[in-house]
Structure 1
Amino acid sequence: MLKLNAAAIAALLAMSGNAFAVSEAVKIACKPDYIAYCNNMVVGSSQLRACMKSNALKLSKPCLQALVDNKEVTKADVDDYVAKTKKAN
Protein backbone atom coordinates (compact mmCIF):
# COMPACT_ATOMS: atom_id res chain seq x y z
CA MET A 1 0.00 0.00 0.00
CA LEU A 2 1.20 3.49 -0.73
CA LYS A 3 2.26 5.70 2.12
CA LEU A 4 -0.05 8.54 2.98
CA ASN A 5 2.12 11.25 1.42
CA ALA A 6 2.13 9.28 -1.77
CA ALA A 7 -1.57 8.99 -1.28
CA ALA A 8 -1.84 12.69 -1.10
CA ILE A 9 0.06 12.93 -4.21
CA ALA A 10 -2.23 10.56 -5.73
CA ALA A 11 -5.09 12.59 -4.78
CA LEU A 12 -4.11 15.13 -7.15
CA LEU A 13 -5.40 13.18 -9.40
CA ALA A 14 -8.37 11.70 -8.25
CA MET A 15 -9.01 13.57 -10.96
CA SER A 16 -7.66 11.49 -13.62
CA GLY A 17 -10.03 8.58 -13.68
CA ASN A 18 -11.66 7.92 -17.02
CA ALA A 19 -15.10 7.50 -15.55
CA PHE A 20 -16.49 10.36 -13.52
CA ALA A 21 -18.44 8.22 -11.06
CA VAL A 22 -17.44 8.85 -7.46
CA SER A 23 -17.72 6.18 -4.76
CA GLU A 24 -19.60 6.81 -1.53
CA ALA A 25 -16.34 6.34 0.41
CA VAL A 26 -14.70 9.15 -1.56
CA LYS A 27 -17.78 11.38 -1.23
CA ILE A 28 -17.76 10.92 2.54
CA ALA A 29 -14.00 11.29 3.05
CA CYS A 30 -13.64 14.24 0.68
CA LYS A 31 -16.79 16.17 1.62
CA PRO A 32 -14.95 18.72 3.83
CA ASP A 33 -12.38 19.28 1.07
CA TYR A 34 -15.14 19.66 -1.52
CA ILE A 35 -16.91 22.25 0.66
CA ALA A 36 -13.68 24.13 1.34
CA TYR A 37 -12.27 24.26 -2.18
CA CYS A 38 -14.74 23.25 -4.89
CA ASN A 39 -18.33 23.55 -3.62
CA ASN A 40 -19.54 25.26 -6.77
CA MET A 41 -18.67 22.23 -8.93
CA VAL A 42 -20.95 19.32 -9.84
CA VAL A 43 -19.94 16.09 -8.07
CA GLY A 44 -18.38 13.68 -10.55
CA SER A 45 -17.72 16.36 -13.17
CA SER A 46 -14.45 16.95 -14.98
CA GLN A 47 -14.50 20.49 -13.55
CA LEU A 48 -14.61 19.11 -10.00
CA ARG A 49 -11.73 16.76 -10.76
CA ALA A 50 -9.71 19.70 -12.11
CA CYS A 51 -10.55 21.79 -9.03
CA MET A 52 -9.57 19.02 -6.63
CA LYS A 53 -6.38 18.42 -8.59
CA SER A 54 -5.48 22.11 -8.41
CA ASN A 55 -5.97 21.93 -4.63
CA ALA A 56 -4.26 18.56 -4.21
CA LEU A 57 -1.61 19.82 -1.80
CA LYS A 58 -4.38 21.05 0.52
CA LEU A 59 -6.51 17.88 0.55
CA SER A 60 -7.01 16.11 3.86
CA LYS A 61 -5.34 12.79 4.61
CA PRO A 62 -8.70 10.95 4.80
CA CYS A 63 -9.67 12.27 1.37
CA LEU A 64 -6.33 11.36 -0.14
CA GLN A 65 -6.45 7.89 1.36
CA ALA A 66 -9.98 7.32 0.04
CA LEU A 67 -8.88 8.43 -3.42
CA VAL A 68 -6.03 5.93 -3.37
CA ASP A 69 -8.10 3.12 -1.85
CA ASN A 70 -10.80 3.59 -4.47
CA LYS A 71 -8.31 3.76 -7.33
CA GLU A 72 -9.32 7.29 -8.23
CA VAL A 73 -5.67 8.13 -8.86
CA THR A 74 -2.92 6.47 -10.85
CA LYS A 75 0.74 5.78 -10.07
CA ALA A 76 1.59 8.61 -12.47
CA ASP A 77 -0.63 10.92 -10.41
CA VAL A 78 1.18 9.88 -7.26
CA ASP A 79 4.59 10.40 -8.85
CA ASP A 80 3.52 13.85 -10.06
CA TYR A 81 2.25 14.76 -6.59
CA VAL A 82 5.48 13.63 -4.94
CA ALA A 83 7.51 15.73 -7.35
CA LYS A 84 5.34 18.79 -6.66
CA THR A 85 5.55 18.39 -2.89
CA LYS A 86 9.33 18.09 -3.06
CA LYS A 87 9.51 21.33 -5.06
CA ALA A 88 7.19 23.07 -2.60
CA ASN A 89 9.40 22.15 0.36
Structure 2
Amino acid sequence: MDGVKEAIDTFLLYDFFVILFILAWLVVGVGVRLSKGNGLSYDEPFLGTWLFLWPFLFQPLLGVHMLATLVSPAVGWAAKRGIVSEDAWR
Protein backbone atom coordinates (compact mmCIF):
# COMPACT_ATOMS: atom_id res chain seq x y z
CA MET A 1 0.00 0.00 0.00
CA ASP A 2 2.89 2.34 0.71
CA GLY A 3 4.24 1.76 -2.79
CA VAL A 4 0.95 2.81 -4.37
CA LYS A 5 0.72 5.96 -2.26
CA GLU A 6 4.36 6.80 -2.99
CA ALA A 7 3.82 6.30 -6.74
CA ILE A 8 0.75 8.57 -6.67
CA ASP A 9 2.65 11.22 -4.72
CA THR A 10 5.57 11.08 -7.17
CA PHE A 11 3.16 11.40 -10.10
CA LEU A 12 1.52 14.41 -8.42
CA LEU A 13 4.90 16.08 -8.00
CA TYR A 14 5.87 15.69 -11.65
CA ASP A 15 2.40 16.54 -12.90
CA PHE A 16 2.41 19.71 -10.79
CA PHE A 17 5.52 20.96 -12.57
CA VAL A 18 3.97 20.13 -15.96
CA ILE A 19 0.92 22.16 -14.94
CA LEU A 20 3.17 25.07 -13.93
CA PHE A 21 4.81 24.89 -17.38
CA ILE A 22 1.36 24.92 -19.01
CA LEU A 23 0.39 27.98 -16.96
CA ALA A 24 3.63 29.78 -17.86
CA TRP A 25 3.02 28.98 -21.54
CA LEU A 26 -0.47 30.50 -21.28
CA VAL A 27 0.78 33.65 -19.56
CA VAL A 28 3.56 34.17 -22.12
CA GLY A 29 1.16 33.52 -25.01
CA VAL A 30 -1.38 36.04 -23.72
CA GLY A 31 1.44 38.53 -23.15
CA VAL A 32 2.64 38.09 -26.74
CA ARG A 33 -0.86 38.58 -28.11
CA LEU A 34 -1.47 41.70 -26.03
CA SER A 35 1.92 43.18 -26.93
CA LYS A 36 1.08 43.17 -30.66
CA GLY A 37 -1.41 46.00 -30.14
CA ASN A 38 -4.42 44.20 -31.59
CA GLY A 39 -5.56 42.70 -28.30
CA LEU A 40 -6.57 39.07 -28.08
CA SER A 41 -8.01 39.07 -31.60
CA TYR A 42 -4.53 38.80 -33.13
CA ASP A 43 -3.71 35.21 -34.08
CA GLU A 44 -0.21 33.91 -33.55
CA PRO A 45 1.10 30.35 -33.29
CA PHE A 46 2.40 30.41 -29.70
CA LEU A 47 -0.97 30.77 -28.00
CA GLY A 48 -2.74 29.13 -30.91
CA THR A 49 -0.83 25.90 -30.23
CA TRP A 50 -1.72 26.15 -26.55
CA LEU A 51 -5.40 26.58 -27.40
CA PHE A 52 -5.25 23.60 -29.78
CA LEU A 53 -3.68 21.35 -27.12
CA TRP A 54 -6.06 22.44 -24.34
CA PRO A 55 -8.87 19.89 -24.87
CA PHE A 56 -6.63 16.98 -25.89
CA LEU A 57 -3.69 17.23 -23.51
CA PHE A 58 -3.99 19.90 -20.86
CA GLN A 59 -7.55 19.26 -19.64
CA PRO A 60 -6.93 15.53 -19.12
CA LEU A 61 -3.69 16.31 -17.27
CA LEU A 62 -5.55 18.64 -14.93
CA GLY A 63 -8.34 16.10 -14.42
CA VAL A 64 -5.93 13.28 -13.60
CA HIS A 65 -4.05 15.60 -11.25
CA MET A 66 -7.25 16.47 -9.39
CA LEU A 67 -8.26 12.79 -9.19
CA ALA A 68 -4.85 11.76 -7.87
CA THR A 69 -4.98 14.60 -5.35
CA LEU A 70 -8.18 13.08 -3.98
CA VAL A 71 -7.04 9.44 -4.18
CA SER A 72 -3.70 9.92 -2.41
CA PRO A 73 -5.15 10.96 0.98
CA ALA A 74 -7.89 8.35 0.64
CA VAL A 75 -5.31 5.58 0.20
CA GLY A 76 -3.37 6.86 3.22
CA TRP A 77 -6.53 7.05 5.29
CA ALA A 78 -7.61 3.52 4.31
CA ALA A 79 -4.19 2.10 5.17
CA LYS A 80 -4.08 3.91 8.50
CA ARG A 81 -7.54 2.63 9.49
CA GLY A 82 -6.68 -0.91 8.47
CA ILE A 83 -9.42 -1.05 5.82
CA VAL A 84 -6.91 -2.20 3.24
CA SER A 85 -4.03 -4.50 4.17
CA GLU A 86 -0.48 -3.42 3.51
CA ASP A 87 0.08 -6.02 0.79
CA ALA A 88 -3.21 -5.43 -1.06
CA TRP A 89 -1.60 -3.51 -3.95
CA ARG A 90 1.52 -5.65 -4.39
TM-score (norm: length of structure 1):
0.28
State the TM-score, normalized to the length of structure 2. Answer: 0.28
The structure with the larger Rg is: 2
